[in-house]
Amino acid sequence: MKKTLLWVIVLVLSISMVGAFSFVGCKEEAAPAEEVTEEAAPIEEEAVEEVTEEVGLNFEGVKLNVLMMSHPPALEAAKIGCADFEELTGAEIDIVEASYSTLHDLAMSAFVGGTGAYDVISVPYQWTGEFTEPGYIISLDDFIAKDDPDIDDYIPKAVALYGSWDGHVVELPWNGEAMLLFYRTDLLEEAGFGPPVTWDDFDEICEFFKDNPDYPGIYGTSIMGLREQCMTMVTNRYWGLGGELIDESGNASMDNETMVKALNLLAKHANDYSPPGALAAGLPETTAAFLDGTVVMEEQWPLVIGIASEDPDQSKVVGKVGAIVPPGQSPHSGGWGLAIANDCKDKEAAYQLAKYLTNVENDKYFFTEFGKAPTRVSTYADEGLQEKYYFFEELMKSIDAARPRFREPESAELCGMMDQRVSEFLAGELTAEECAKIMNDDAMEILSK
Amino acid sequence: MNNRFFITDSKIKWILLIPSVLLLLFILIYPLIFSLRLSFSEWKAGSDMVFVGFENYKDLFTDKLFYTALKNTFIFVILATLFELIFGFILALILNREIGKIRNIFRTCLILPMMLTPVVVGVTWRMLFNPQYGLINFFLNITGFQWISNPKIAIFSLIITDIWEWTPFMFIIILAGLQSIPDYLYESASIDGAGTIHVHKYITLPLIMPTILLAVIIRSMDAIKVYDIVYTLTYGGPGSSTEVISWYIYRQGFTYWKMGYAAAASYIMLILIAVLVMLFLKYTNKFLKIS
């Protein structure tokens, strides 16, 4: 009897373990994703008529599901934009929001499972290849030929990076970002420094502020050492020092002196110049530290700090912040476009929604109203905006200068591998030399599969 | 009338069980077999499942991160379950006594952490652990102490969070066990002059041992699957210091879409757990016999 009981327990345990594996993805889906029901934004009648004329379409009875990154400015913009589109065309839109890492897994689960759960998806450029090669998202060439979304007005770099794959346009650029270095103008001026142009300049400033009794509680920088941010942080340095992740022949190119130097720089910046807790600090912690006035310079996604730093409700450093392309002038590129899923039932409606959300008027409106990063040349050329936002011109420069992380179909695995290895190095599990070699070997192995 | 047209009681019993058995086979056994097949295959997004023999298992045994994840998981499970059991037991003993109306208030408050969404728990503790602004360092007067960013401490920070969240589970189960012990046993022991320690050693503990055993098994099974607080607190870092098996399997399966590899990792884990539980049950049974 006892033996039977023993085996029953073992069987139940076994099944639950396999169940854990089978359902862990579902659990993940349930936690951070959130269904959003938009309230229709009030639109003035004249404006409605004007835009209806422009949209000129009726999608009564059409339902679209949009998978959107839960990046606050872009998400808010999408909510309002979708509500407007609903009112203008009669379509019904549901937005599902997901964090950066969750979005990939949700999209892939839907694609592989063939659930058709999402029609329009915000796709960061690093997943463009992964989604396009198996045919999960479609080419927009025919739609664009028929109904031009002013394609020439998108920033060319944005179209190339988060718009195209293999010569075809597969996304309409939606959110254009590249890392900027934000710095305290008052502190640098007081200390007699200019904004850093090289990593040596950066180090010199950090060293000056380190444990400086004249600046108690002030840190030179604040590094995002959380594992999911490690690759971004190291590539800012590696590219800035002239390194390449993959060489011209498609081989990994990370096992070199430049990578070792970049890794050591990152470790120094995280361990010596950042506030305590850098190895677990993510975007919220580092942003809060900068806005609290305790950090002199910080590499950050531009719209996170850019708008908030000028808001007295959120910032103690209003009017004291400048922005510049990070040292080395080869920052990490962000940015994502709006793609249409292959299993979308009404692709025309989905295309019109993507076109509407990224049109010239909305690009400017969403930036001024919510701080969503523009992707249109005309928005960046607006002199009024250039005057109003201190970081605007630098953002355009940074987008132009920025380098992409991997775009290969294996991108998710390559990026995950680099995050992991750099984090192991920062935690002291690997030396810089070992880390550079292992990353190179791992990348070669992933690319060769 | 011919008897063969009638179904006997014993037969009808089995016939009525058939739908349930089929359903169970479909939802329990099928995934088990499918996962086993998957563990011997390579199945990447957008491609067909290809049989690769023991390739996934071979790769697993050469992956240092897998061993680290196993090690971290066992540290997490053993320490978290042990302390949850100790704290749950002590709390249950205290709140099993007649201490007036305050008992109900305490009981309700104690259950609250378990009711919270794990993601909320993780985010809250992330703020509490902040080295500069976190309340824990503030109350302990140790500004700058790094809870989740120090690779040597991070796993213990996860354990602390889990203990806070899941001690109520142990508490509820053990309290239920305590309340099922008849009062007359304690009264008899008291008449015989037994002290508190003797009462708990010879009456309470043996009688609630099956309950404790059940609670430990359920809780450790759940702790093995820890995922949410890793996701919200550390992302498995710094380095690989909080890489646990569910997080490892999830990333392999759903981020990198190496489904076969993830399935193989699940099966290795499953075998290890099965062996451990069998050993655990065997020794506990011996202990119960002696008691």
Confidence of residue A55 (pLDDT cuts 50, 70, 90): low
Please tell me the distance from the alpha carbon of residue B64 to that of residue A180, in angstroms, as a whole number. 36
| Partner residue facing B46 (CB), from A31, A134, A416 | A134
Average pLDDT over residues B170-187: 91
Measured in angstroms, the CA of A285 and the nearest CA of chain B are apart by 9
Tally the C-alpha atoms within 13 A of residue A388's C-alpha that lie toward its C-beta: 11
| Highest-confidence segment of A41-50, A378-387, A428-437 | A428-437
Contact A429 B225 (CB under 8 A): no
Minimum Cα–Cα distance from A113: chain B residue: B45
Is the pLDDT at B281 greater than 90? The verdict is no
pLDDT in tens, A288-329: 999 999 999 999 998 888 889 999 999 999 999 999 999 999
Residue A342 DSSP symbol: T
SS3 A60: coil
The answer to whether the CB of A394 falls within 8 A of the CB of A331 is: no
Mean pLDDT of chain B: 89
Report pLDDT for A21.
Answer: 42
pLDDT in tens, A388-444: 999 988 998 999 899 998 888 888 899 999 999 999 999 999 999 999 999 999 999
The answer to whether the CB of B174 falls within 8 A of the CB of A302 is: no
pTM, two decimal places: 0.83
Contact B237 A226 (CB under 8 A): yes
Average pLDDT over residues A147-174: 93
| Partner residue facing B237 (CB), from A14, A20, A427 | A427
pLDDT in tens, B89-139: 999 998 888 777 777 888 888 889 999 999 899 999 999 999 988 999 999
Chain A residues lying within 8 Å of B256, measured CB to CB: 412-413, 416
Per DSSP, helices labelled H in A309-407 are 347-357, 360-370, 377-380, 383-388, 392-401
A45 vs A204: which has the higher pLDDT: A204
> Which two three-digit tokens encode residue A207?
């060293």
Is the pLDDT at A12 greater than 70? The verdict is no
Report pLDDT for A23.
Answer: 38
Confidence of residue A4 (pLDDT cuts 50, 70, 90): low
> Do the bridges between strand A92-98 and strand A34-36 make them parallel or antiparallel, or are there none, so unpaired?
antiparallel
Contact B277 A28 (CB under 8 A): no
Report pLDDT for B273.
Answer: 84
Average pLDDT over residues B51-76: 94
Give the CA distances from residue A303 to residues A177, A354, A410, in Å, rounded to whole numbers and listed in that order.
8, 21, 28
Is the pLDDT at A3 greater than 70? The verdict is no
The answer to whether the CB of A395 falls within 8 A of the CB of A158 is: no
Measured in angstroms, the CA of B263 and the nearest CA of chain A are apart by 8
Phi-psi bin for A65: left (phi > 0), alpha (psi -120 to 50), beta? Answer: beta
Chain A residues lying within 8 Å of B277, measured CB to CB: 9-10, 13
Is the pLDDT at A359 greater than 90? The verdict is yes
Average pLDDT over residues A31-44: 39
Average pLDDT over residues A368-381: 92
The dihedral of CA A133, A138, A143, A149: what is its sign?
negative
Q: What amino acid is encoded at B259 in this protein?
A: M
Is the pLDDT at A222 greater than 90? The verdict is yes
pLDDT in tens, B230-255: 999 999 989 999 999 999 999 999 88
Measured in angstroms, the CA of B289 and the nearest CA of chain A are apart by 12
Confidence of residue A56 (pLDDT cuts 50, 70, 90): low
Contact A225 B274 (CB under 8 A): no
Number of neighbours of residue B147 by Cβ within 10 angstroms: 25
User: What would the 3-class secondary structure string for A312-328 be?
Assistant: CCCCCCCCCEEEECCCC
Contact B236 A227 (CB under 8 A): yes
Report pLDDT for B149.
Answer: 93
Contact B255 A416 (CB under 8 A): yes
Mean pLDDT of chain A: 87
The answer to whether the CB of B228 falls within 8 A of the CB of B119 is: yes
Q: Which of B269, B275, B259, B271 is nearest to B39 (CA)?
A: B259
Is the pLDDT at B15 greater than 90? The verdict is no
The answer to whether the CB of A236 falls within 8 A of the CB of A179 is: yes
Torsions phi, psi of A165, nearest 5?
-150, 125
B278 vs A263: which has the higher pLDDT: A263
Torsions phi, psi of A439, nearest 5?
-60, -40
The percentage of chain A sitting over the pLDDT mark of 90, rounded to a whole number, equals 73
Worst-scoring range by mean pLDDT, A52-61, A110-119, B27-36, B182-191? A52-61
| Partner residue facing B277 (CB), from A10, A226, A275 | A10
Start-to-end C-alpha separation, chain A: 51
Report pLDDT for B110.
Answer: 87
Quick one: B106 exposed, middle or buried, by C-beta within 10 A (0-12, 13-18, 19+)?
middle
**Which H or E element spans position A199?**
helix A199-209
Average pLDDT over residues B263-278: 88
Report pLDDT for A29.
Answer: 36
Contact A412 B45 (CB under 8 A): no
Is the pLDDT at A5 greater than 90? The verdict is no
Average pLDDT over residues A251-257: 95
Residue A42 DSSP symbol: P
Report pLDDT for B277.
Answer: 82
Give the CA distances from residue A271 to residues A28, A274, A298, B207, B239, in Å, rounded to whole numbers and listed in that order.
32, 6, 15, 54, 14
Report pLDDT for B46.
Answer: 67
Please tell me the distance from the alpha carbon of residue A42 to that of residue A25, in angstroms, as a whole number. 38
Please tell me the distance from the alpha carbon of residue B224 to that of residue B255, in angstroms, as a whole number. 20
Please tell me the distance from the alpha carbon of residue B78 to that of residue A208, in angstroms, as a whole number. 47
Please tell me the distance from the alpha carbon of residue B209 to that of residue A70, in angstroms, as a whole number. 48
List the Cα angle A292/A297/A299 in 5-degree steps: 100
* Residue B238, preceding peptide bond in cis (omega within 30° of 0): yes
Report pLDDT for B143.
Answer: 80
Is the pLDDT at A37 greater than 70? The verdict is no
Look up tokens 């960013």; give the residue.
B149
Query: In Å, how far from its chain's centre is CA A293?
Result: 25
